[in-house]
A and B are shown apart, each in its own frame.
Chain A
Amino acid sequence: MSDHPEIDCPCCGGKILLDAAMLLKGSRFSCSNEYCDAVISLSSESHDVTKNALDKLNEIKKVDSI
């Protein structure tokens, strides 16, 4: 739920820094360990679900900022 969560890389145990909003929009994030090439991304079949959620989130953020 944070904008910049980090998860442990399942391959090497290093850190994968994520930008949640970007991840949900389809960006790919790779492991911070230079010797590891693990990449995490949203599956294309979930794009519609996340787009819908992000649109709704932007709506409530606008309301909150009024």
Chain B
Amino acid sequence: MPVQDRGLVSMAQQFSGLPIKSLIGAPLLAGAEANSKMALTQTQFLLSTCFTNSGVAGTVAAKYEPIMIKMELTRSVIKVDGSAGTPVKTAFDLPLLTIMPLNSLAVDNVTVTFDMEVKSSFSNDQETSTESESSAKGSFSAKVGYGLFSAEVSGSVSASSKDTSSEKSHYEKSNSAKYTINAHAGQLPLPEGVTTIIQAFSQSIAPIQLKAGATPTPAPGP
């Protein structure tokens, strides 16, 4: 069996055919698309629910005015003698828009995990043992006599030869791939402008301090 045909798998070759662009790009694109849809839905909701339109919707003639809601700030009053007085209520208007619990929901994290394992192993166990065995047997005997002496020689010869050849070869290859996408949708922080609006409103709702004999004066606007 030709050994060179079954060398180790080239790792670079294994990765070169992968659609890395789409593996990574597709989930990110899907996240961006989801964001776009969510933003559109939220904008439409804000325009239809938190504004009144006195013009023609979707045209330059559209005139959106924020819907205001009335809030109340209540404070207890303690009289000079220490007894509880009638609580003072201060009313103020707030745009519904600023208080709606509509979070800027967006996909804020997309994690693409791609594990690929290319396992390639090759082993060639060649076991060659050579044993030669040949066998030949022979025997001989001879008798020699000379005067008073006589000798007898006998013997045998044997030889063996054995040839054994074995080759073991082992080839293993495995591929595995895991593709995980984690997308997380979270709340984006409030835009600085919205926070400023909320602060401006909260600062402008200071209760009116009445002095003896004075008429109420409205609190300064935002």
Contact = CB atoms under 8 A, between A and B. Distances in A.
A10 B101 contact: no
A20 B97 CA distance: 11
A2 B205 contact: no
A23 B70 CA distance: 12
A56 B136 CA distance: 107
Contacts of B206: 10-11
Interface in B88-103: 90-91, 96-103
A43 B91 contact: yes
A9 to B, nearest CB: 8
A45 interface: yes
Contact of B101 (A1, A41, A60): A1
Contacts of A38: 73-75
Given A23-B99, A57-B102, A10 B73 contact: yes
Interface residues of A, number: 33
Contact of A57 (B76, B100, B187): B100
Interface string B53-97: 000000000000001011111111000000000000011000011
Nearest to B46: A1
B65 to A, nearest CB: 14
Interface of B: 38, 41-42, 45, 48-50, 67, 69-76, 90-91, 96-105, 187, 190, 194, 198-199, 201-203, 205-207
22 contacts: A1-B98, A1-B99, A2-B103, A3-B187, A5-B190, A7-B201, A20-B100, A20-B101, A21-B101, A40-B71, A41-B71, A42-B71, A46-B69, A49-B67, A50-B69, A50-B96, A52-B49, A53-B67, A53-B96, A56-B49, A57-B45, A57-B49
Interface of A: 1-3, 5, 7-8, 10-11, 18-21, 23-24, 28, 37-43, 45-46, 49-50, 52-53, 56-57, 60, 63-64
